[in-house]
Amino acid sequence: PPPPQTGNDGVRRRHIALRFHYDGSAFGSGFAQNVGRPDDDSVERALFEALIKTRLVADRASAGYSRAGRTDRGVSAWGQVV
């Protein structure tokens, strides 16, 4: 893997993969975030809130994130990688 990079703020950063699980019955919007919708109840929104809260990412825009798929409402995942 490439070595960590140091940002302008002196913090070392690197790309990682996270494997996580979720119960889709708890999310009304499925996986894909409905950006800009105040009623968004998606897995992706909850995921990014957690990543930002734990400081694993600064924000979605700078995370280099892109999705390759989506799921319907109520679908669960075991071992999904982001």
| Active-site residue, 41 included | no
Bridge partners for 20 per DSSP:
80
**What is the Cα–Cα distance from 64 to 27, expressed in whole angstroms?**
24
**What is the Cα–Cα distance from 40 to 48, expressed in whole angstroms?**
13
Catalytic residue among 9, 40, 41, 72: 72
Which residues form the catalytic set?
72
